[in-house]
Structure 1
């Protein structure tokens, strides 16, 4: 009996100690980068009413854990520099060393953002030169959840070295490296990207419920989730393994994925990956996603602004910069003009430029026809950094690609005027401008000829169209287009018409293989 009493007493004491221990959110740690020139939150947990003291760079802050055992303070604005030591003290003490202050960007999206440095062009050279002690890397573990999570595990801040860099986001790294060299300040990069993820999985559920005008979208997803069973998943997995063992004959099968806990269901990735770091001080976000939403370009134009606005609202930093890489290109060039799910998705992304402090990098000229993960991520880093230097940092450099501004019909020709012209238009690699098509009132497009007539104007014509009414450019899965500004930024794809497109009115989630191929 006495031993039992001692055991219970010790158990209660251990429980008290655990409850009393001051903790800090996992995103904070040694080697982290804090965003310069703004007040950055620090938060964690402790016993109810426990007093917490935080010190860094000669500053001291005090707070008390609330009735839920949570605490939060805001650091005063700091200039770029370091290293600093942060001490968080309650009944216990936490010490974080080698903290820098500089610029922090979150790198997010799907596989073309997740694509690693070691799998990109010239990876051996890039890794041999990857000794940047003031570039710090943090990768958030990929956890899907139907409910918002507050913790992340098994990840720490690391200085950029040939050993820490190989599996980090290539687009994120090349972007950050350019900024580090030009701005001359420490750079923090947070990798929160997940291959094969859909747009809706990165959006808070309540934001979709409140802002998206098509409730059938979530109703459809919820129905699919109830229909999916463990047996269906196991049966499909067996089929997939058998197909692989047989040498992958016939129609391609997708790898097994449990949609209930995967990276496609609405809010799953937001809850598990983004929510735990919401509020960490950042400069902005770079995004590369879209392939997971092909066939739903029109829907993308409605959901994408909802995602950006919901992140901004929850982050509490106002309209922080949000820049994205437009989806690239794939498949074979079209023999004749036709509909394109890739072009419709690009258009859906571009419509989101109506939001403040947003920007778009064009990548369709770097896509690989037989591989969705194009390897030239260096160019994406260059274009992203140009955009950030132009828009976020005020450098005298053009970061925006030329875009369609207006059209004028002159007889059997159409004059297209572009904006964002820096050094003037030119045709890359040939004297012939490629990529334009034209249509009359019958809406039947044919390839058209084009001629640059001024720094920002192009004349479009075709001997097959006597009375043209519309022009499209690079409207293809794999555009054969070559119009650039002389600063090497490609002209963005566009259409002058407002005729119905294939993805218009598609509001439901796609009935993909995860359900269709497993419901037998």
Structure 2
């Protein structure tokens, strides 16, 4: 009986506990409902003070509010307000018609609360994107030509700037993920902003007095496929695994295994080929009297101009003397290599380090040391750009002293990357297909723009042939997302870079430029500027961004603003062979028909080949708006190429001072295919 009463009491207690718990849940839901019902109206951050709206269009205003809340938008350029209502989830959107350019105006958005947006201009909005040459600021790491004066004079309140932060997403992101707001163009805001975009806008403003809004969304060192949507890439087999890995852990794991295997095999190939050359170079007794010398620390590109295009391994040797006391205790060797290094002391392997920005610190046990002479061998591997041992920390630390290692070292080339299979393309972070489109372009597709400025391609040079497919596909992709099949798209053809080479050569840079040229020819309402005359052989980031921006503006002034000026240099049109001479005709030869050779020099930059596909320097002369090319070494010519190298030196212009685009008349297979 007592047990039954006890059980009944426990059941009643549990029931009461459940009822209290249920009541708390109900109260919480009611409280959350009340909060939701009073949610303040919100819009994306880029609907901010000082913004520019595209003229003569319908700009979608959108955001969130309480469910089923009346929304009213009052604009100071029109007497009537625009009204809508949020849906049951609290989302709302409505088009706002914009007039011709002008302002400043004020916009008030009423719902649960009020948003007031002040100092709004109506004008033209340009999206500026690409990699580091678009990202390159006036000041900061960029330091363009005359940057201090340019920054000081950059007071243009009718030019407005929106700097998009670096982000990446696996799936398309919405506007709420953008925290950037608009700024007036002045010396404080412009120093860290895109120089190319600024000089473009400045020229447009000076010529038209139309307010300009610049959305700058670029990221240095990125590949074009990162800026393309998943839908546009889905039919290209090369990206299938990477795209699947964005949404599937199983696919990501499989991709990681495959990439690891690829890199391990490639690394083994490097070691095997390098080992065949260097199998005895680590020995303390090795005679290095036949080696060259180099002063370290320093980058080998700076020390020896013949190494400016060298990527691979270089071996360094030096002998250091230690006292009896020093040789009977451990020592430490400290240095920094770009990219990776390996160290041997007296023929014994000590260790390896990876990373161009990591200081290597090696402890050398006393068992490896000799009293007197000690052999030090360092192998440096560089995969791209500059290579060598650099920095101020370059010494041996013993129990008694620091021994500086700066000075003359013996050096010998190991394996060159040109002797190796192409390094596997491993997509990392921001270079994964579609992730930058998702995070840095997709949030703006509802925000009307007049056009796009694009400066990218250096990171795709090794796959230039593929760029023939990717680049026009990206333009069509963006136009589709903006619901504008004629969206203006103006871009920069790659500048000259690397050491000039006199004789005709194959060139991946030339192939990338040709892919850009073919895109310009194939797609309407595009524009391309040529920059092979304003680059820098030793700097992939040339400083003359004033001229880059000006040339881009020439396209817009003609095509968009009706100024009817010449905006491009000569563009290859057609050719024919007459006996042993090739006759080349051009489009865009300038306001006065006829071509010119710059600097009053003989025309240069042309090469010519017969059926054997061996190119020789051609003799070229101008007659009117045509160029005639020949060579005594090519009796039956089949093809002509112009400025076909990494750093071309051709001098063909039109009379408006704009350079001709590199081109080829042949359809012979690309080296990057």
**Number of the residue aligned with 2:655:** 486
Q: How many residues align?
A: 494
SS in 1 for 2:133: helix
- Quote the Cα distance in structure 1 between the aligned partners of 2:110 and 2:503: 68
Asked if structure 1 preserves the Cα contact closer than 8 Å seen for 2:573 and 2:584, the reply is yes
Query: Cα distance, 1:153 vs. partner?
Result: 3.8
Q: CA shift at 1:122, angstroms?
A: 0.7
Q: Which residue of 2 aligns with 1:414?
A: 582
Q: Alignment RMSD, CA only?
A: 2.8
Alignment partner of 1:263: what SS?
A: helix
Q: In the alignment, is the contact (CA less than 8 A) between 1:341 and 1:503 conserved in 2?
A: yes
1:447/1:221 Cα in 2 relative to 1: closer, same or farther (>3 Å)?
Answer: farther
8 Å CA contact 2:500, 2:648 repeated in 1: yes
Q: Are 1:438 and 2:608 an aligned pair?
A: yes
Q: Measured at CA, do residues 88 and 392 of structure 1 come closer, stay the same or move farther in structure 2, by a change above 3 Å? A: same
Paired with 1:464 and 1:179, the residues of 2 have a C-alpha distance of 49
> Does residue 25 in structure 1 map to residue 25 in structure 2?
no
- Secondary structure of 1:365's partner? coil
Match of 1:133 in 2: 157
Counting only pairs closer than 5 Å after superposition, residues 165-176 of structure 1 correspond to structure 2 as 165-176=190-201
- Indicate which of 436, 441, 450 corresponds to 1:269: 436
Change in Cα spacing, 1:288 to 1:243, as seen in structure 2 (3 Å) is closer
Distance change >3 Å, CA 49–CA 405, structure 1 → 2: same
Cα deviation, residue 191, structure 1: 0.2
Asked if the contact 1:225–1:259 (Cα under 8 Å) also holds between the matched residues in 2, the reply is no
1:352 to 519, 526, 537: 519
Instruction: Structure 2 unaligned segments of length 5 or more: list them.
Output: 1-16, 246-250, 264-338, 341-351, 362-377, 386-424
Q: Give the alignment of 1:42-441 within 5 angstroms.
A: 42-57=61-76, 58=78, 59-118=80-139, 119-150=143-174, 151-209=176-234, 212=235, 214-219=236-241, 222=244, 225-226=252-253, 227-228=255-256, 239-241=353-355, 244-246=358-360, 250-252=380-382, 262-353=429-520, 354-422=522-590, 423=592, 424-441=594-611
Please say if residues 140 and 152 of structure 1, whose CA atoms lie closer than 8 Å, have aligned partners that are also in contact. no
Post-superposition shift, 1:75? 1.3
For residues 134 and 243 of structure 1, do their structure 2 counterparts lie closer, same or farther at Cα, with a shift above 3 Å needed?
closer
| Change beyond 3 A, Cα 1:146–1:323 | same
Deviation at 1:17, TM superposition (A): 3.2
Question: Equivalent residue of 1:74, what SS?
Answer: strand
Task: Tell me, in whole angstroms, the C-alpha distance in 2 between the residues paired with 1:29 and 1:453.
Answer: 56
Unaligned runs of 5+ residues in structure 1 are 505-520
**Could you tell me how far 1:401 is from its partner in structure 2?**
2.1
Query: Following TM superposition, by how much is the alpha carbon of 1:154 offset from its aligned partner in structure 2, in angstroms?
Result: 3.6
Give the 3 Å change call, closer, same or farther, for CA 283–243 of structure 1 in structure 2: closer
What does the per-residue CA deviation read over 1:286-340, in whole Å, with 9 as the maximum and x for residues that have no partner? Answer: 0000011112122111111221112111112341100100111211112321111
Task: String of CA shifts for 1:432-477, please: whole Å, max 9, x gaps.
Answer: 11110000111100111111111x1011111111111110001111
CA distance in 2, matches of 1:225, 1:429: 56
- Rate the CA distance shift 1:266–1:220 in 2: closer, same or farther, 3 A: closer
Alpha carbons of 1:263 and 1:474: their partners in 2 closer, same or farther (altered >3 Å)? Answer: same
SS at match of 2:429: coil
Kept in 2, the 8 Å contact 1:261–1:268? The answer is: no
In structure 2, the residue matched to 1:515 is none
Query: 16-25 or 484-493: which moved more?
Result: 16-25
Task: Give how far 1:479 is off.
Answer: 0.5
- Tell me what 1:467 maps to: 636
Q: SS state of the match for residue 136, structure 1?
A: strand
- Measured against aligned partners, the alpha-carbon deviations of 1:177-207 in whole angstroms (never above 9, x if no partner) come to 1001111121100001110111001111012
User: Secondary structure of 1:497's partner?
Assistant: coil
1-structure distance, mates of 2:540, 2:658: 21
1:138 and 1:190 in contact (8 A); partners too: yes
Query: 1:75–1:220: structure 2 CA closer, same or farther, 3 Å change rule?
Result: closer
CA distance in 1, matches of 2:645, 2:577: 24
Q: Is the 8 A contact 1:243 1:249 kept in 2?
A: no
CA deviation vs aligned residue, 1:70-116 (integer Å, no higher than 9, x gap) = 22111113111111111111112111100001111010011110000
Contact 1:225 1:260 in 2 (8 A): no
Q: In 1, Cα distance between the equivalents of 2:567 and 2:132? A: 24
Q: 1:131 to 1:249 in 2, by over 3 A?
A: farther
* 1:350 to 1:260, Cα distance in 2 relative to 1, 3 A: closer
**Partners in 2 of 1:315 and 1:124 — Cα distance?**
37
**Mapped partners of 1:252, 1:18: distance in 2:** 57
Please report the TM-score for the alignment, with normalisation by the length of structure 1.
0.89
Is contact 2:53–2:98 with CA below 8 Å preserved after alignment? Answer: no
Residue 144 of structure 1: SS of its match in structure 2?
coil
**CA deviation after TM superposition for structure 1 residue 50, in Å:** 2.1
- 1:14, distance to aligned residue in structure 2 (A): 6.3
Shift of 1:259: 7.2
Instruction: Return the TM-score normalized by structure 2.
Output: 0.69
Shift of 1:9: 5.8
